Structure 1
Amino acid sequence: MQLSRLLPAAIAATAIAVAVCAADAQDRMKLKIATEGAYPPFNTIGPDGKLSGFDIDITNALCARINADCELVAQDWDGLIPGLQAGKFDVIIASMTITEERKKQVAFTDKYYSTPLSLVASKDSDFDSTDPALFAGKVIGVQGATVQADYADEHYGKAGAVVKLYPSWEEAAIDLMDGRTDAVVSDKIQLMNWLAKGGKDCCKMLGDLEGSATEAGISLRLGDDALREKFNAALDTIRSDGTYARIEAKYFSFDIY
Protein backbone atom coordinates (compact mmCIF):
# COMPACT_ATOMS: atom_id res chain seq x y z
CA MET A 1 0.00 0.00 0.00
CA GLN A 2 2.81 2.42 0.90
CA LEU A 3 4.65 1.59 -2.37
CA SER A 4 1.52 2.32 -4.35
CA ARG A 5 1.39 5.80 -2.82
CA LEU A 6 5.07 6.54 -3.59
CA LEU A 7 5.00 5.38 -7.19
CA PRO A 8 2.81 8.20 -8.59
CA ALA A 9 4.96 10.76 -6.78
CA ALA A 10 8.14 9.26 -8.24
CA ILE A 11 6.64 9.25 -11.72
CA ALA A 12 5.60 12.88 -11.30
CA ALA A 13 9.09 13.88 -10.11
CA THR A 14 10.67 12.11 -13.07
CA ALA A 15 8.31 13.86 -15.47
CA ILE A 16 9.18 17.24 -13.97
CA ALA A 17 12.93 16.52 -14.26
CA VAL A 18 12.52 15.48 -17.91
CA ALA A 19 10.51 18.62 -18.60
CA VAL A 20 13.18 20.82 -16.97
CA CYS A 21 15.95 19.16 -19.01
CA ALA A 22 13.91 19.59 -22.18
CA ALA A 23 13.37 23.26 -21.36
CA ASP A 24 17.09 23.74 -20.71
CA ALA A 25 17.89 22.13 -24.07
CA GLN A 26 15.42 24.42 -25.82
CA ASP A 27 16.92 27.48 -24.08
CA ARG A 28 20.45 26.72 -25.32
CA MET A 29 21.48 28.73 -28.34
CA LYS A 30 22.76 26.90 -31.37
CA LEU A 31 25.61 28.71 -33.07
CA LYS A 32 27.76 27.90 -36.06
CA ILE A 33 31.24 29.34 -35.57
CA ALA A 34 33.79 29.64 -38.37
CA THR A 35 37.58 29.63 -38.12
CA GLU A 36 40.29 29.35 -40.74
CA GLY A 37 42.08 26.15 -39.76
CA ALA A 38 45.39 27.28 -41.28
CA TYR A 39 46.93 29.57 -38.67
CA PRO A 40 48.73 27.54 -35.99
CA PRO A 41 48.90 27.72 -33.03
CA PHE A 42 45.64 29.66 -33.11
CA ASN A 43 43.65 27.42 -35.42
CA THR A 44 44.69 24.40 -37.45
CA ILE A 45 43.29 21.17 -38.86
CA GLY A 46 44.98 17.97 -37.68
CA PRO A 47 45.54 14.72 -39.59
CA ASP A 48 42.25 13.48 -38.15
CA GLY A 49 40.41 16.41 -39.75
CA LYS A 50 39.62 18.02 -36.39
CA LEU A 51 40.11 21.69 -35.61
CA SER A 52 42.39 22.57 -32.72
CA GLY A 53 44.38 25.49 -31.34
CA PHE A 54 44.08 28.51 -29.07
CA ASP A 55 41.07 29.92 -30.95
CA ILE A 56 39.28 26.57 -30.67
CA ASP A 57 39.84 26.24 -26.92
CA ILE A 58 38.73 29.84 -26.37
CA THR A 59 35.63 29.16 -28.49
CA ASN A 60 34.68 26.12 -26.42
CA ALA A 61 35.17 28.02 -23.16
CA LEU A 62 33.03 30.94 -24.36
CA CYS A 63 30.26 28.69 -25.66
CA ALA A 64 30.06 27.01 -22.27
CA ARG A 65 29.72 30.40 -20.57
CA ILE A 66 26.93 31.65 -22.84
CA ASN A 67 25.05 28.32 -22.66
CA ALA A 68 25.35 27.63 -26.39
CA ASP A 69 25.75 24.51 -28.49
CA CYS A 70 28.43 25.53 -30.96
CA GLU A 71 29.38 23.84 -34.20
CA LEU A 72 32.86 24.72 -35.43
CA VAL A 73 33.49 24.84 -39.18
CA ALA A 74 36.61 25.58 -41.23
CA GLN A 75 36.45 28.30 -43.87
CA ASP A 76 39.14 29.73 -46.14
CA TRP A 77 40.22 33.18 -44.96
CA ASP A 78 38.85 35.08 -47.94
CA GLY A 79 35.42 33.54 -47.38
CA LEU A 80 35.06 34.30 -43.69
CA ILE A 81 33.42 37.73 -43.80
CA PRO A 82 31.31 37.00 -46.92
CA GLY A 83 30.15 33.75 -45.33
CA LEU A 84 29.18 35.52 -42.11
CA GLN A 85 27.26 38.18 -44.01
CA ALA A 86 25.49 35.50 -46.08
CA GLY A 87 24.38 33.62 -42.96
CA LYS A 88 26.54 30.51 -43.54
CA PHE A 89 27.64 30.86 -39.92
CA ASP A 90 26.92 33.13 -36.98
CA VAL A 91 30.32 34.01 -35.56
CA ILE A 92 33.97 34.15 -36.64
CA ILE A 93 36.70 33.25 -34.15
CA ALA A 94 39.80 33.17 -36.32
CA SER A 95 42.38 35.64 -34.97
CA MET A 96 40.80 38.40 -37.04
CA THR A 97 42.39 41.79 -36.40
CA ILE A 98 40.03 44.60 -35.41
CA THR A 99 40.28 47.40 -38.00
CA GLU A 100 38.15 50.41 -38.87
CA GLU A 101 37.60 49.06 -42.38
CA ARG A 102 36.35 45.70 -41.10
CA LYS A 103 34.07 47.44 -38.61
CA LYS A 104 32.06 48.58 -41.61
CA GLN A 105 31.38 44.92 -42.47
CA VAL A 106 31.21 43.09 -39.13
CA ALA A 107 30.65 43.79 -35.44
CA PHE A 108 33.64 43.06 -33.21
CA THR A 109 33.74 42.06 -29.57
CA ASP A 110 36.40 43.34 -27.23
CA LYS A 111 39.87 41.98 -27.99
CA TYR A 112 40.80 38.48 -26.87
CA TYR A 113 44.51 38.85 -27.58
CA SER A 114 46.99 41.35 -29.02
CA THR A 115 50.27 41.17 -30.91
CA PRO A 116 52.65 43.28 -32.98
CA LEU A 117 53.72 42.24 -36.47
CA SER A 118 57.23 40.93 -37.09
CA LEU A 119 59.48 40.03 -39.99
CA VAL A 120 61.39 36.78 -40.58
CA ALA A 121 64.05 36.07 -43.19
CA SER A 122 66.48 33.31 -44.08
CA LYS A 123 69.10 32.97 -41.38
CA ASP A 124 71.73 32.86 -44.13
CA SER A 125 70.69 36.27 -45.42
CA ASP A 126 72.48 39.55 -44.70
CA PHE A 127 69.34 41.20 -43.34
CA ASP A 128 69.94 42.49 -39.82
CA SER A 129 66.94 44.78 -39.25
CA THR A 130 63.40 45.45 -40.40
CA ASP A 131 64.38 48.67 -42.22
CA PRO A 132 62.21 48.75 -45.39
CA ALA A 133 65.09 50.24 -47.38
CA LEU A 134 67.01 46.97 -47.02
CA PHE A 135 64.29 45.10 -48.91
CA ALA A 136 64.13 47.17 -52.11
CA GLY A 137 63.93 44.73 -55.01
CA LYS A 138 63.36 41.79 -52.63
CA VAL A 139 60.25 39.59 -52.37
CA ILE A 140 58.22 39.68 -49.17
CA GLY A 141 55.55 37.03 -48.65
CA VAL A 142 52.37 37.71 -46.72
CA GLN A 143 48.85 36.30 -46.43
CA GLY A 144 46.45 38.29 -48.58
CA ALA A 145 43.46 40.26 -47.27
CA THR A 146 45.09 40.76 -43.88
CA VAL A 147 46.45 43.59 -41.77
CA GLN A 148 49.88 42.08 -42.46
CA ALA A 149 49.35 42.55 -46.20
CA ASP A 150 48.27 46.16 -45.71
CA TYR A 151 51.33 46.88 -43.60
CA ALA A 152 53.69 45.20 -46.08
CA ASP A 153 52.23 47.20 -48.98
CA GLU A 154 52.39 50.49 -47.10
CA HIS A 155 55.90 50.16 -45.69
CA TYR A 156 57.80 47.67 -47.85
CA GLY A 157 56.02 47.94 -51.18
CA LYS A 158 56.47 51.70 -51.19
CA ALA A 159 60.17 51.18 -50.41
CA GLY A 160 60.60 49.07 -53.54
CA ALA A 161 59.96 45.52 -52.31
CA VAL A 162 57.76 43.10 -54.22
CA VAL A 163 54.91 42.09 -51.90
CA LYS A 164 53.69 38.60 -52.82
CA LEU A 165 50.26 37.61 -51.53
CA TYR A 166 49.33 34.06 -50.50
CA PRO A 167 45.99 32.41 -49.65
CA SER A 168 47.39 31.28 -46.28
CA TRP A 169 50.29 31.93 -43.95
CA GLU A 170 51.53 28.36 -44.38
CA GLU A 171 52.08 28.82 -48.13
CA ALA A 172 54.09 31.99 -47.51
CA ALA A 173 56.26 30.13 -44.97
CA ILE A 174 56.89 27.26 -47.39
CA ASP A 175 58.11 29.63 -50.09
CA LEU A 176 60.42 31.33 -47.59
CA MET A 177 61.93 27.98 -46.58
CA ASP A 178 62.36 27.03 -50.24
CA GLY A 179 64.03 30.31 -51.10
CA ARG A 180 61.28 31.67 -53.33
CA THR A 181 60.84 34.74 -51.13
CA ASP A 182 63.30 36.78 -49.10
CA ALA A 183 61.19 37.49 -46.02
CA VAL A 184 57.72 37.06 -44.55
CA VAL A 185 55.57 39.46 -42.54
CA SER A 186 53.15 37.98 -40.01
CA ASP A 187 52.08 38.44 -36.41
CA LYS A 188 54.80 37.97 -33.84
CA ILE A 189 53.10 35.26 -31.81
CA GLN A 190 52.51 33.10 -34.85
CA LEU A 191 56.10 33.58 -36.04
CA MET A 192 57.57 32.76 -32.62
CA ASN A 193 55.55 29.54 -32.53
CA TRP A 194 56.71 28.61 -36.04
CA LEU A 195 60.39 29.28 -35.25
CA ALA A 196 60.14 27.25 -32.04
CA LYS A 197 58.70 24.28 -33.91
CA GLY A 198 61.32 24.05 -36.65
CA GLY A 199 61.33 27.34 -38.51
CA LYS A 200 64.54 28.32 -36.70
CA ASP A 201 66.41 25.75 -38.81
CA CYS A 202 65.95 27.97 -41.85
CA CYS A 203 65.01 31.39 -40.63
CA LYS A 204 65.52 34.18 -38.12
CA MET A 205 63.33 36.84 -36.56
CA LEU A 206 64.41 40.34 -37.52
CA GLY A 207 62.21 42.17 -35.03
CA ASP A 208 58.89 43.85 -34.40
CA LEU A 209 57.53 46.24 -37.01
CA GLU A 210 57.12 49.80 -35.86
CA GLY A 211 53.55 50.92 -35.20
CA SER A 212 52.10 47.50 -35.99
CA ALA A 213 50.43 46.47 -32.71
CA THR A 214 47.09 44.78 -33.43
CA GLU A 215 44.16 43.35 -31.46
CA ALA A 216 42.17 40.25 -32.42
CA GLY A 217 38.44 40.15 -31.82
CA ILE A 218 35.43 37.91 -32.37
CA SER A 219 33.35 38.91 -35.41
CA LEU A 220 29.56 38.89 -35.67
CA ARG A 221 27.04 40.30 -38.10
CA LEU A 222 26.32 44.00 -37.82
CA GLY A 223 23.33 44.47 -35.53
CA ASP A 224 23.92 41.30 -33.48
CA ASP A 225 24.44 43.48 -30.42
CA ALA A 226 22.86 41.16 -27.86
CA LEU A 227 25.02 38.23 -28.93
CA ARG A 228 28.12 40.41 -29.02
CA GLU A 229 27.50 41.51 -25.42
CA LYS A 230 27.06 37.87 -24.38
CA PHE A 231 30.49 37.13 -25.79
CA ASN A 232 32.00 40.21 -24.15
CA ALA A 233 30.60 39.15 -20.77
CA ALA A 234 31.92 35.62 -21.33
CA LEU A 235 35.36 36.98 -22.20
CA ASP A 236 35.37 38.91 -18.93
CA THR A 237 34.38 35.75 -17.07
CA ILE A 238 37.08 33.49 -18.50
CA ARG A 239 39.65 36.21 -17.86
CA SER A 240 38.62 36.58 -14.22
CA ASP A 241 38.11 32.90 -13.33
CA GLY A 242 41.49 31.69 -14.63
CA THR A 243 40.19 29.82 -17.68
CA TYR A 244 41.89 32.18 -20.13
CA ALA A 245 45.23 31.86 -18.33
CA ARG A 246 45.04 28.06 -18.39
CA ILE A 247 44.31 28.01 -22.12
CA GLU A 248 47.01 30.59 -22.81
CA ALA A 249 49.62 28.57 -20.89
CA LYS A 250 48.86 25.55 -23.06
CA TYR A 251 50.16 27.37 -26.14
CA PHE A 252 52.41 30.22 -25.00
CA SER A 253 55.07 30.87 -22.38
CA PHE A 254 54.18 34.58 -22.27
CA ASP A 255 51.05 36.71 -21.90
CA ILE A 256 49.34 37.47 -25.22
CA TYR A 257 46.47 39.53 -23.82
Structure 2
Amino acid sequence: MTDAFLTAVCLMKHMKERDKSAFWQVAAAIFFVFGLFVAVGMARAEDNIPDVIRIASEGARPPYNYLENNDLAGFEIELGRELCARMNVTCTFVTQDWDNLIPGLLDHHYDAIMAALNITEENREKLAFSTPYVRMPLAFLGRRDEPIAGVSAEALAGKKIGVIANTAFEAYAEDHFPKAQIQNYASLEEAILDLGEKRVDLVLAEKADLNDFRTNRREAQNTVIIGDLPRDPAYFGEGIGIGLRKGDTALKAKFDQALEEIRKDGTFRKIRERFFPYEIE
Protein backbone atom coordinates (compact mmCIF):
# COMPACT_ATOMS: atom_id res chain seq x y z
CA MET A 1 0.00 0.00 0.00
CA THR A 2 2.88 2.41 0.80
CA ASP A 3 4.51 1.88 -2.60
CA ALA A 4 1.19 2.49 -4.31
CA PHE A 5 0.72 5.74 -2.42
CA LEU A 6 4.20 7.03 -3.33
CA THR A 7 3.57 6.16 -6.98
CA ALA A 8 0.34 8.12 -6.89
CA VAL A 9 2.13 11.19 -5.45
CA CYS A 10 4.73 11.11 -8.20
CA LEU A 11 2.05 10.92 -10.87
CA MET A 12 0.26 13.88 -9.31
CA LYS A 13 3.25 16.15 -9.86
CA HIS A 14 2.89 15.71 -13.63
CA MET A 15 -0.87 16.07 -13.86
CA LYS A 16 -2.97 19.13 -14.53
CA GLU A 17 -5.24 20.38 -11.76
CA ARG A 18 -8.48 19.44 -13.56
CA ASP A 19 -7.30 15.80 -13.84
CA LYS A 20 -6.32 15.42 -10.20
CA SER A 21 -9.85 15.07 -8.83
CA ALA A 22 -10.77 12.29 -11.26
CA PHE A 23 -7.47 10.55 -10.57
CA TRP A 24 -8.07 10.45 -6.84
CA GLN A 25 -11.59 9.15 -7.31
CA VAL A 26 -10.26 6.19 -9.31
CA ALA A 27 -7.38 5.68 -6.89
CA ALA A 28 -9.72 5.68 -3.89
CA ALA A 29 -11.87 2.99 -5.50
CA ILE A 30 -8.81 0.84 -6.24
CA PHE A 31 -7.50 1.20 -2.68
CA PHE A 32 -10.94 0.32 -1.29
CA VAL A 33 -11.19 -2.90 -3.33
CA PHE A 34 -7.61 -3.80 -2.40
CA GLY A 35 -8.45 -3.29 1.24
CA LEU A 36 -11.42 -5.64 0.96
CA PHE A 37 -9.22 -8.38 -0.46
CA VAL A 38 -6.74 -7.90 2.38
CA ALA A 39 -9.51 -8.02 4.99
CA VAL A 40 -11.04 -11.19 3.55
CA GLY A 41 -7.63 -12.82 3.32
CA MET A 42 -6.84 -11.92 6.93
CA ALA A 43 -10.18 -13.28 8.12
CA ARG A 44 -9.67 -16.55 6.26
CA ALA A 45 -6.11 -16.78 7.60
CA GLU A 46 -7.37 -16.28 11.16
CA ASP A 47 -9.99 -19.03 10.64
CA ASN A 48 -7.33 -21.27 9.08
CA ILE A 49 -10.00 -22.57 6.67
CA PRO A 50 -8.88 -23.63 3.19
CA ASP A 51 -10.70 -22.19 0.17
CA VAL A 52 -11.19 -25.74 -1.12
CA ILE A 53 -12.09 -28.45 1.38
CA ARG A 54 -11.25 -32.00 0.32
CA ILE A 55 -13.58 -34.61 1.79
CA ALA A 56 -12.73 -38.33 1.67
CA SER A 57 -15.31 -41.11 1.55
CA GLU A 58 -15.17 -44.83 0.89
CA GLY A 59 -17.85 -45.22 -1.76
CA ALA A 60 -18.82 -48.67 -0.47
CA ARG A 61 -21.50 -48.10 2.18
CA PRO A 62 -24.87 -47.31 0.61
CA PRO A 63 -26.90 -45.27 1.26
CA TYR A 64 -24.26 -43.31 3.22
CA ASN A 65 -21.81 -43.31 0.32
CA TYR A 66 -21.43 -45.27 -2.90
CA LEU A 67 -20.03 -44.98 -6.42
CA GLU A 68 -22.27 -43.89 -9.28
CA ASN A 69 -20.56 -43.80 -12.69
CA ASN A 70 -17.24 -43.85 -10.79
CA ASP A 71 -18.19 -40.71 -8.85
CA LEU A 72 -19.00 -40.59 -5.14
CA ALA A 73 -22.70 -40.26 -4.36
CA GLY A 74 -25.06 -40.85 -1.46
CA PHE A 75 -26.34 -39.22 1.70
CA GLU A 76 -22.96 -38.07 3.01
CA ILE A 77 -21.93 -36.61 -0.34
CA GLU A 78 -25.12 -34.54 -0.61
CA LEU A 79 -24.77 -33.50 3.03
CA GLY A 80 -21.14 -32.52 2.49
CA ARG A 81 -22.02 -30.34 -0.49
CA GLU A 82 -24.67 -28.52 1.51
CA LEU A 83 -22.32 -27.97 4.45
CA CYS A 84 -19.63 -26.55 2.17
CA ALA A 85 -22.19 -24.20 0.60
CA ARG A 86 -23.15 -22.94 4.06
CA MET A 87 -19.47 -22.42 4.87
CA ASN A 88 -18.91 -20.48 1.60
CA VAL A 89 -16.15 -22.81 0.45
CA THR A 90 -15.69 -25.17 -2.48
CA CYS A 91 -15.64 -28.86 -1.68
CA THR A 92 -14.17 -31.75 -3.63
CA PHE A 93 -14.60 -35.45 -2.87
CA VAL A 94 -11.87 -38.08 -2.77
CA THR A 95 -12.44 -41.84 -2.90
CA GLN A 96 -10.32 -43.68 -0.34
CA ASP A 97 -10.36 -47.29 0.83
CA TRP A 98 -11.46 -47.82 4.43
CA ASP A 99 -8.11 -48.90 5.88
CA ASN A 100 -6.36 -45.75 4.64
CA LEU A 101 -9.05 -43.18 5.47
CA ILE A 102 -7.61 -42.05 8.80
CA PRO A 103 -3.92 -42.29 7.76
CA GLY A 104 -4.69 -40.22 4.65
CA LEU A 105 -6.33 -37.50 6.73
CA LEU A 106 -3.44 -37.37 9.19
CA ASP A 107 -1.01 -37.14 6.23
CA HIS A 108 -2.97 -34.12 4.88
CA HIS A 109 -4.11 -35.85 1.68
CA TYR A 110 -7.55 -34.36 2.42
CA ASP A 111 -9.21 -32.23 5.09
CA ALA A 112 -12.15 -34.26 6.37
CA ILE A 113 -13.72 -37.73 6.35
CA MET A 114 -17.41 -38.39 5.72
CA ALA A 115 -17.62 -42.18 5.47
CA ALA A 116 -20.05 -43.51 8.11
CA LEU A 117 -17.20 -43.06 10.60
CA ASN A 118 -18.33 -43.81 14.15
CA ILE A 119 -17.34 -41.52 17.00
CA THR A 120 -15.69 -44.00 19.36
CA GLU A 121 -13.07 -43.65 22.06
CA GLU A 122 -10.57 -45.44 19.84
CA ASN A 123 -11.15 -43.03 16.95
CA ARG A 124 -11.09 -40.03 19.30
CA GLU A 125 -7.53 -40.90 20.23
CA LYS A 126 -6.51 -40.00 16.67
CA LEU A 127 -9.16 -37.56 15.42
CA ALA A 128 -11.48 -34.74 16.31
CA PHE A 129 -15.13 -35.03 15.29
CA SER A 130 -17.98 -32.74 14.39
CA THR A 131 -21.25 -33.08 16.24
CA PRO A 132 -22.90 -36.37 15.16
CA TYR A 133 -25.06 -36.22 12.04
CA VAL A 134 -26.32 -39.82 12.35
CA ARG A 135 -27.35 -41.74 15.47
CA MET A 136 -28.66 -44.83 13.76
CA PRO A 137 -31.17 -46.83 15.83
CA LEU A 138 -30.94 -50.58 16.24
CA ALA A 139 -33.74 -52.86 15.12
CA PHE A 140 -34.74 -56.49 14.90
CA LEU A 141 -35.40 -58.31 11.67
CA GLY A 142 -38.06 -61.01 11.90
CA ARG A 143 -40.14 -63.20 9.60
CA ARG A 144 -43.30 -61.67 8.21
CA ASP A 145 -45.29 -64.87 8.65
CA GLU A 146 -44.28 -65.27 12.32
CA PRO A 147 -44.91 -61.92 14.01
CA ILE A 148 -43.24 -61.13 17.34
CA ALA A 149 -45.47 -59.55 20.00
CA GLY A 150 -42.78 -57.25 21.43
CA VAL A 151 -39.08 -56.71 21.86
CA SER A 152 -38.76 -56.37 25.62
CA ALA A 153 -36.45 -58.69 27.53
CA GLU A 154 -39.43 -60.69 28.81
CA ALA A 155 -41.13 -60.89 25.41
CA LEU A 156 -37.97 -62.34 23.85
CA ALA A 157 -37.26 -64.87 26.59
CA GLY A 158 -36.38 -68.17 24.94
CA LYS A 159 -36.12 -66.64 21.46
CA LYS A 160 -33.03 -67.18 19.30
CA ILE A 161 -31.40 -63.87 18.34
CA GLY A 162 -28.75 -63.79 15.62
CA VAL A 163 -25.92 -61.23 15.89
CA ILE A 164 -22.54 -60.65 14.29
CA ALA A 165 -19.88 -62.24 16.49
CA ASN A 166 -17.35 -60.21 18.48
CA THR A 167 -19.20 -56.93 17.98
CA ALA A 168 -21.08 -54.46 20.15
CA PHE A 169 -24.30 -56.15 18.99
CA GLU A 170 -23.26 -59.38 20.66
CA ALA A 171 -22.47 -57.62 23.95
CA TYR A 172 -25.66 -55.55 23.78
CA ALA A 173 -27.86 -58.59 23.12
CA GLU A 174 -26.28 -60.62 25.92
CA ASP A 175 -26.74 -57.77 28.43
CA HIS A 176 -30.24 -56.64 27.42
CA PHE A 177 -31.84 -59.99 26.57
CA PRO A 178 -30.36 -62.40 29.15
CA LYS A 179 -33.18 -64.93 28.80
CA ALA A 180 -32.84 -65.20 25.01
CA GLN A 181 -30.45 -67.49 23.15
CA ILE A 182 -27.78 -65.39 21.43
CA GLN A 183 -26.40 -67.03 18.29
CA ASN A 184 -23.24 -65.62 16.70
CA TYR A 185 -22.48 -65.29 12.99
CA ALA A 186 -19.49 -64.24 10.95
CA SER A 187 -21.60 -61.82 8.90
CA LEU A 188 -25.02 -60.19 8.85
CA GLU A 189 -25.80 -62.04 5.61
CA GLU A 190 -25.30 -65.42 7.28
CA ALA A 191 -27.55 -64.43 10.18
CA ILE A 192 -30.35 -63.29 7.87
CA LEU A 193 -30.10 -66.43 5.74
CA ASP A 194 -30.51 -68.49 8.90
CA LEU A 195 -33.52 -66.34 9.80
CA GLY A 196 -35.09 -67.41 6.50
CA GLU A 197 -34.33 -71.06 7.33
CA LYS A 198 -35.95 -70.59 10.79
CA ARG A 199 -32.75 -71.40 12.64
CA VAL A 200 -33.10 -68.09 14.52
CA ASP A 201 -36.20 -66.06 15.37
CA LEU A 202 -34.72 -62.57 15.02
CA VAL A 203 -31.58 -60.78 13.84
CA LEU A 204 -30.29 -57.70 15.68
CA ALA A 205 -28.37 -55.03 13.75
CA GLU A 206 -28.41 -51.35 12.76
CA LYS A 207 -31.63 -50.36 11.05
CA ALA A 208 -29.82 -49.04 7.96
CA ASP A 209 -28.07 -52.37 7.34
CA LEU A 210 -31.28 -54.35 7.81
CA ASN A 211 -33.21 -52.01 5.51
CA ASP A 212 -30.50 -52.21 2.85
CA PHE A 213 -30.57 -56.02 2.94
CA ARG A 214 -34.35 -56.10 2.67
CA THR A 215 -34.25 -53.69 -0.28
CA ASN A 216 -31.58 -55.46 -2.28
CA ARG A 217 -31.76 -59.17 -1.48
CA ARG A 218 -34.44 -61.59 -2.65
CA GLU A 219 -33.78 -63.80 0.39
CA ALA A 220 -35.22 -61.06 2.62
CA GLN A 221 -38.63 -60.85 0.93
CA ASN A 222 -40.40 -62.57 3.82
CA THR A 223 -38.77 -60.41 6.49
CA VAL A 224 -39.98 -57.38 8.40
CA ILE A 225 -38.21 -54.85 10.61
CA ILE A 226 -39.49 -54.99 14.16
CA GLY A 227 -39.16 -52.41 16.92
CA ASP A 228 -36.58 -49.63 16.93
CA LEU A 229 -34.18 -49.71 19.87
CA PRO A 230 -32.48 -46.49 20.99
CA ARG A 231 -28.77 -46.31 20.27
CA ASP A 232 -26.85 -46.89 23.49
CA PRO A 233 -23.61 -44.84 23.46
CA ALA A 234 -22.05 -47.20 26.01
CA TYR A 235 -22.04 -49.95 23.36
CA PHE A 236 -22.14 -48.14 20.03
CA GLY A 237 -20.52 -44.74 20.58
CA GLU A 238 -22.02 -41.31 20.04
CA GLY A 239 -22.95 -41.82 16.40
CA ILE A 240 -21.42 -40.88 13.05
CA GLY A 241 -19.59 -37.58 12.60
CA ILE A 242 -17.14 -35.78 10.32
CA GLY A 243 -13.58 -36.89 11.07
CA LEU A 244 -11.05 -34.05 11.33
CA ARG A 245 -7.48 -33.51 12.43
CA LYS A 246 -7.29 -32.46 16.08
CA GLY A 247 -5.54 -29.19 15.25
CA ASP A 248 -8.23 -28.03 12.80
CA THR A 249 -10.39 -26.42 15.47
CA ALA A 250 -11.66 -23.60 13.22
CA LEU A 251 -12.78 -26.08 10.57
CA LYS A 252 -14.58 -28.17 13.19
CA ALA A 253 -16.39 -25.05 14.46
CA LYS A 254 -17.49 -24.20 10.91
CA PHE A 255 -18.82 -27.70 10.28
CA ASP A 256 -20.67 -27.68 13.61
CA GLN A 257 -22.22 -24.31 12.83
CA ALA A 258 -23.31 -25.43 9.36
CA LEU A 259 -24.82 -28.65 10.77
CA GLU A 260 -26.79 -26.63 13.30
CA GLU A 261 -28.08 -24.28 10.60
CA ILE A 262 -29.35 -27.02 8.29
CA ARG A 263 -31.05 -28.83 11.16
CA LYS A 264 -32.90 -25.68 12.18
CA ASP A 265 -34.14 -24.72 8.72
CA GLY A 266 -35.21 -28.24 7.67
CA THR A 267 -32.54 -28.79 5.01
CA PHE A 268 -31.05 -31.76 6.86
CA ARG A 269 -34.42 -33.52 6.92
CA LYS A 270 -34.91 -32.96 3.17
CA ILE A 271 -31.52 -34.53 2.41
CA ARG A 272 -32.11 -37.38 4.85
CA GLU A 273 -35.50 -38.26 3.37
CA ARG A 274 -33.95 -38.90 -0.05
CA PHE A 275 -31.82 -41.70 1.40
CA PHE A 276 -33.38 -42.88 4.67
CA PRO A 277 -37.19 -43.32 4.97
CA TYR A 278 -36.92 -43.08 8.79
CA GLU A 279 -35.30 -40.94 11.48
CA ILE A 280 -31.54 -41.32 11.87
CA GLU A 281 -30.86 -38.96 14.78
- Range into which the TM-score falls when normalised by the shorter chain: 0.5 to 0.7
- Aligned with 1:57: secondary structure? helix
After superposition, residues 8-23 of structure 1 pair within 5 angstroms as none
Please identify, of 113-122 and 57-66, the stretch whose mean Cα deviation from structure 2 is larger.
113-122
- Residue number in structure 2 paired with 1:154: 171
- Pick the structure with greater CA Rg: 2
- Residue number in structure 1 paired with 2:208: 189
- Residue number in structure 2 paired with 1:54: 75
**CA separation in 1, counterparts of 2:66 and 2:125?**
28
**CA separation in 1, counterparts of 2:157 and 2:208?**
21
% identical aligned pairs: 32
Q: 1:132 to 1:60 in 2, by over 3 A?
A: farther
Show structure 2 runs of 5+ residues with no match: 1-24, 45-49, 176-180
Contact 1:135 1:156 in 2 (8 A): no
1:87 aligns with 2:108: yes
- Aligned with 2:80: secondary structure? helix
1:216 aligns with 2:240: yes
Corresponding letter in the other structure for 1:219: G
- Residue number in structure 2 paired with 1:232: 256
Please point out which of 48, 51, 58 is paired with 1:29.
51
Contact 2:185 2:191 in 1 (8 A): no
**Over the residues paired in the alignment, what is the CA RMSD in angstroms?**
4.3
1:104 aligns with 2:125: yes
Q: 1:196 to 1:30 in 2, by over 3 A?
A: same
Q: How many residues align?
A: 233
- Residue number in structure 1 paired with 2:15: none
Normalization by structure 1: what TM-score? 0.68
Corresponding letter in the other structure for 1:51: L
Contact 1:122 1:203 in 2 (8 A): yes
- Aligned with 2:135: secondary structure? strand
**CA separation in 2, counterparts of 1:98 and 1:132?**
32
1:207 CA displacement: 4.4
The C-alpha deviation readout for 1:109-145, integer Å capped at 9, x for no partner, is 1111222223446778x89687697558x7x447xxx
**CA separation in 2, counterparts of 1:59 and 1:45?**
15
Q: 1:193 to 1:106 in 2, by over 3 A?
A: same
Corresponding letter in the other structure for 1:244: F
Normalization by structure 2: what TM-score? 0.63
Higher strand fraction (1 or 2): 1
**CA separation in 2, counterparts of 1:174 and 1:185?**
12
Contact 1:55 1:94 in 2 (8 A): yes
1:189 CA displacement: 3.0
**CA separation in 2, counterparts of 1:86 and 1:153?**
35
Contact 2:65 2:73 in 1 (8 A): yes
Contact 2:170 2:182 in 1 (8 A): no
Please identify, of 174-183 and 217-226, the stretch whose mean Cα deviation from structure 2 is larger.
174-183
Please point out which of 97, 114, 134 is paired with 1:76.
97
1:38 CA displacement: 1.7
**CA separation in 2, counterparts of 1:204 and 1:54?**
24
**CA separation in 2, counterparts of 1:155 and 1:120?**
16
